[in-house]
Amino acid sequence: MRRTSWLAGILVVVAAIGRSWSEETPPPVPAPAEGTTSGDVAIGVGAVDGLDESSKAQQYREIPSGFFLDQFNFAAAKHDWRFDLFAVDLLQEDQRIVFSAQKTKTLRINVGYDQIPAWYSNTAATLFANGGGGTMLFPATIRQANETATPVAGIATNLQTSLAAAQPFPDLRYRRDRAFGDLTWQTPVPGLTATAAFSQELRNGTHDQTLSTNFSVGTDVTEFAATTDFTSRQASLGVDYAHKRFDVGGSVVWSEFHDDMTSTSLGTTVNDAYIVDNPLRATDGTPAVPNPAAPNNLASSRFLLSAPPDSRQAWVNLHAGWRFADWGRASIEFAVGENQQDENFLPFTLNSAIVPVTPLVILKDGTTAVSAYDGKIDLTRWDARISGHPLRWFSFEAFAHDYHYDNKTPTYVLPDWVSADVALDGAAATSEPFGYEQQSYGANATFRPNPRLSLGIGGRRESWDRTFRFVDHTDEDIFDINAAWTPGAIGEIRLSYSHGERRFDSYTSTTNDPAGLRTFDLANRDRDKFQIMASITPIDRLQLGLQLFSLEDTYPDSTFGVTSAKDDSWTLDFAVDCGKGVTVTGDYGEDRYQWTLDARYAAVDPLDDWSTTPDDKTKNYGLGVLASVGKRWSLGAHAAVNDAVGKQPAYFVPGGQANGNGTPFPDTSSKLETFSADATWKLRKHLDLSFLVTYENWDEANFQRDIMVPWMGAVDGGASESVYLGARVPGYDFTWARVVMHYWF
């Protein structure tokens, strides 16, 4: 009981400090009496400084300035009905509204709407204008000037000068708007429940998109602010029946995805693709048919880049279970589903100068000419499980699981393909409809020789069968043991250890890969995992927590590729009741992930051996205080730091030239400091006034694309004319102070 009280106490402290972040599910209000209403409203006014520095501060939220509606709850009861309305951050970019209606023993309905912003960058710049849908237009004057300019010097100068004048910098952001609802109906038939749910999500805005253009001559890579216009819908119907120890049920789930973007340029309209102007050319050209006006660039005047195609999915799920009195349960689930995607094929190219000798016809299964994709995945899943504790000192579980991603899509032969819209590659390509089946089965048992000690042992096998990969079949055998000891009210300690060995039947390398190269997700692997969790209450007013976690992977068969990986973490936390209504909490934790990559470029020359050992270290620590002063004041404060550094050292053979690439990559670092404090004054029984302040500081180095500053000049051959968004995500430093009045009615 004491431990439970302490845990609750810690959570209260955390809850109080985290109050300004809370906006999840509607907090309940006391039950209104029949025919009355109740609720609460929190209104605030605030000021914020420093938000303009970086989009990162409001990546997923809006921090309001001025008046704002923090939250609103309203509840009403009438006859057997109860109604609830909950709203948080109303009229802001991240608002959420949920309405619930329920009739006792019969029906519950929830409908809601929420928004989640995703602000990627506020520092981007681009010369591309959005011509509607996914059409990206480059200024004609600059294109024409680039056509006859000398590469490296002239074109780079043109683009750099123009980009500097491209104002204002476009925001890279989109927002996810979701409408959702669900219904649960306890039918008049005892034990029979019906459910229904739906959701629709719209995702509108822009995101950063790159397009590889022309190699060896002209622009290498173009980057633009691409349109995001996605619609996702999901609906389900289900029914469950339970009678005494038996339960059975099923559901149908359907979902669809629409990419609502259409691009049109120079009389060509395509769905689910971007049409992007070539910054160097106004008309098409190839090595065979160059444009005399732009002899140095042999590319298309427009590029085509595919976007996510529309797709659909349906599942039928069935489940049944049997309870063995109060000591066990057996259950089985079975589901079948299907994915479909049947969009028309995009054109190979929009470059009119590329005229194939014979028409480029896509052949289904290598025989039938088709103009649309016939993508279909048959999904099958089943699970069987029996678990229970038939004796006070013994419990067990046995399970089997199968998931089959059976790709029924035909193989498509593409007679040729276009390399960067310059010319036909001259070789056919064949699609590979990848599929897999994953099976696992195992059992575990737990013994309790006395109420304070439990010992567990278990094992399972996980098998994968794959098509179109280097490895057709892998088996992984995992063995685990665990123990838990509760030496009285002073606390409890849990230990667990597992060892797994994954082995493939055979590994088929490609001719270009050095012998002994293995991909880490298929390679033979030994995995050891160890964990300690301890909670100790040495004295009544102090609780300590400790966790240790270690995971180590070795790849015994891999000469090249990932040869080892290690993840070590530990945390220490405490909570102290200092008396007089004061509670102090604190925590410290570290996480370190490191792995080794052994590589060789050009297998014939040992001097070209190189390797790298990426190493990410994170420290996280915090301190919090909660105090009650008298009967009317409560105070809280919390400070936390998350400090991470990622290194990517590379090692070369002594005397080796490493291809002149001896410069180490810069470290990536990220440090987030947060501080929040609040003071709440209970003015009346139903009225609180809170004074809150939040401070955040985020410093970063080489995060995201900062690691290599967007380049607009000569780097190495072929990259001199790249056009980048210049999108960066710099650090920020903001302070948000507000006063919130909370009234209950």
Partner 1 sequence: MGRLTFVAAVSCFVLALGARAAEPAAAAPATHVGPEVCATCHEAETASLRHYADHPGVADCEGCHGPGSAHVEAGGDATKIMNPGKLAPAAAAKTCLGCHDQQHVRDWPGSTHQRADLSCLSCHAIHNKDVKNAALLKAPVQADVCFGCHKMQRIQTMMSSHMPLRESKMQCSDCHNPHGSTTKALLVDASVQDNCIRCHMEKRGPLLFEHPPVRENCLNCHDPHGSLHDNLLVATPPRLCQSCHLGTSHPGQPRNQTSRFVFNKSCVNCHTQIHGTQSPNGTALMR
- Sign of dihedral through CA atoms 721, 724, 730, 736? positive
503 is an interface residue for partner 1 by CB under 8 A? no
- In the list 672, 677, 692, 723, the residue contacting partner 1 (rule: CB under 8 A) is 672
Site membership for partner 1, residue 649 (CB under 8 A): no
* 39, 51, 68, 94: residue in contact with partner 1 (rule CB under 8 A): 94
434 lines the binding site for partner 1 (CB under 8 A): yes
- Judged by CB, which is closer to partner 1: 324, or 681? 324
Which listed range, 129-137, 160-168, 294-302, 714-722, lies at the site for partner 1 (CB under 8 A)?
Answer: 714-722
Secondary structure of the chain: what % helix, strand, coil (to 5)? 10, 60, 35
Q: Which of residues 264-323 bind partner 1 (CB under 8 A)?
A: 272-273, 304-306, 308-309, 311, 313, 319, 321, 323
**144, 212, 262, 264: which one contacts partner 1 (CB under 8 A)?**
212
CB contact burial 357-387 (16+ within 10 A = b; e otherwise): eeebebbbeeeeebeebebbbebebbbeebb
Which of 646, 690, 696, 723 is in the footprint of partner 1 by CB under 8 A?
646
Window 464 to 493, contacts with partner 1 (CB under 8 A): 466, 468-469, 484
Task: Pick the stretch among 134-142, 278-286, 461-469, 536-544 that binds partner 1 (CB under 8 A).
Answer: 461-469
Q: Quick check: 357 binds partner 1 (CB under 8 A)?
A: no
Tokens of 334: 């079975």
Residue list 4-43, contact with partner 1 (CB under 8 A): 4, 7-8, 10-12, 14-15, 18-19, 21-28, 30-31
Contact 341, 290 (CB under 8 A): no
Residue 584 or 701: which CB sits closer to partner 1? 701
DSSP lists the bridge partners of residue 81 as 78, 103
- Separation CA 17–CA 673 (nearest Å): 15
Residues in 123-182 at the binding interface with partner 1, rule: CB under 8 A:
none
| Least distance between partner 1 and beta carbon 104 (Å) | 6
Region of 154-162, 282-290, 429-437, 688-696 interacting with partner 1 (CB under 8 A): 429-437
List CB contacts of 692: < 8 A, sequence separation 6 or more. Answer: 20, 676, 677, 678, 679, 737, 738, 739, 740
Q: Which of 644, 653, 689, 741 binds partner 1 (CB under 8 A)?
A: 644
Q: Is 95 in the site for partner 1 (CB under 8 A)?
A: no
647 binds partner 1, rule: CB under 8 A: no
- Binding partner 1 (rule: CB under 8 A), the pick from 91, 268, 659, 686 is 659
Which stretches of 92-152 are assigned E, i.e. beta strand? Answer: 96-103, 107-121, 129-130, 135-137
Please tell me whether residue 710 binds partner 1 under the rule CB under 8 A: yes
Q: How many CA atoms lie within 13 A of 337 on its CB side?
A: 21
Among 37, 65, 200, 210, binds partner 1 (CB under 8 A): 210
Site string for partner 1, 597-636 (x = CB under 8 A): x-xxxxx------x-x-x-x-x-x----------------
280 neighbors 303 (Cβ within 8 angstroms): no
Q: Which of residues 545-584 bind partner 1 (CB under 8 A)?
A: 545, 547, 549, 560-562, 569, 571, 573
290-327 burial: b if 16+ Cβ within 10 Å, else e: ebeebebbbbbbbbbbebebbbebebebebebebeeee
Q: How many residues bind partner 1 (CB under 8 A)?
A: 197
Residue 165 Cβ vs partner 1, minimum distance, rounded to whole Å: 21
User: Is 2 within 8 Å of 537 (Cβ atoms)?
Assistant: yes
Helix or strand (DSSP H, E) at 140? helix 140-148
CB 704 within 8 A of CB 661: no
In the complex with partner 1, which residue's Cβ is closer, 72 or 148? 72
Dihedral (Cα; 275, 280, 286, 288), 10-degree rounding: 160
* Spacing of C-alpha 728 from chain mean position: 20
Angle (CA) 139 140 145, round 5°? 105
